[in-house]
């Protein structure tokens, strides 16, 4: 288990590397299907990095004015965590401005929503990063409800139908898309991704100095 300080430092370091390098490292480690589907795209902000806190729900008609389970689930999130919203919803909003503000008060650093979001103007104004599958003005109350949290969930995948996300996995998303790093591989993936990032920096500098791409690849290797 990592301490709170270690989790914060790992998140800071991951935020400095790109998803492409992380995906390449995962390929090398025999985990080729950790990329998230391109339909999970940024709707607020451009990058997020954090430890997975999972929330699952489903379409379930109901009466009443709220979702007590959703509120209870949100109370458990902590610093440096990303809220991962999954389930079988369609056409309705799982996540909006007020939930985001409540989560941020608890230290949450973003959300990945395999479903709908709304209040995009305000999410952007607050600077809260969100990657989501679709946008909609239609609320979830009476239509969709939280059924569990902090248990394994499934998000749509890039090279496989689904990516399984466990609480405590690491999630990174940027302009290229999203990727899930299994908890047991976090430190190995981070170290290798940092090394790959440093190599790319050296290649870019050499290209600016006038070396050809072939010369750079001969010197630094393929990336």
Q: Please state, in angstroms and rounded to a whole number, the distance separating the CA atoms of residues 21 and 27.
A: 10
Q: Answer yes or no: is 187 a known binding residue.
A: no
Scan for tokens 């999410």, then name that residue.
123
Q: Answer yes or no: is 98 a known binding residue.
A: yes
Q: Answer yes or no: is 55 a known binding residue.
A: no
And the tokens for 181? 């790093």
- Does residue 115 contact residue 50 with C-beta atoms inside 8 Å? no
Q: Answer yes or no: is 97 a known binding residue.
A: yes
Alpha-helical regions (H) of the chain: 4-14, 19-28, 68-75, 97-105, 120-126, 186-208, 213-220
CA angle at residue 16 from 82 to 172, to 5 degrees? 30
Q: Answer yes or no: is 60 a known binding residue.
A: no
Longest dimension (CA), the chain: 68
Give the phi and the psi of residue 179 in degrees, each rounded to 5: -150, 145
- Does residue 194 contact residue 206 with C-beta atoms inside 8 Å? no
Burial class (CB in 10 A: 0-12, 13-18, 19+), 80: buried
Q: Answer yes or no: is 96 a known binding residue.
A: yes
Binding-site residue numbers for Mg(2+) are 119
Binding-site residue numbers for substrate are 96-99, 118
Binding-site residue numbers are 96-99, 118-119
């Amino acid at each position: 288990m990592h301490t709170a300080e270690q989790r914060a430092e790992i998140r800071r370091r991951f935020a400095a590397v790109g998803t492409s390098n992380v995906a390449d490292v995962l390929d090398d480690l025999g985990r080729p299907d950790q990329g998230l589907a391109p339909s999970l795209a940024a709707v607020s902000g451009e990058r997020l990095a954090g430890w997975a806190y999972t929330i699952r729900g489903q379409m379930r008609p109901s009466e009443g004015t709220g979702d007590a389970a959703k509120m209870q689930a949100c109370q458990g999130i902590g610093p440096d965590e990303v809220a991962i919203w999954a389930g079988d919803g369609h056409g309705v909003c799982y996540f909006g401005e007020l939930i985001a503000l409540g989560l941020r008060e608890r230290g949450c650093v973003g959300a990945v929503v395999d479903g709908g979001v709304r209040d995009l103007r305000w999410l952007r104004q607050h600077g809260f990063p969100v990657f989501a599958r679709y946008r909609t003005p239609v609320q979830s109350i009476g239509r969709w409800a939280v059924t569990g949290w902090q248990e394994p969930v499934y998000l749509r995948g890039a090279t496989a139908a689904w990516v399984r996300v466990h609480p405590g996995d690491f999630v990174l998303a940027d302009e290229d898309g999203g990727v899930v790093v299994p908890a047991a591989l976090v430190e190995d993936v981070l170290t290798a991704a940092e090394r790959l990032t440093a190599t790319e920096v050296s290649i870019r500098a050499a290209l600016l100095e006038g070396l050809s791409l072939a010369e750079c690849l001969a010197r630094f290797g393929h990336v």
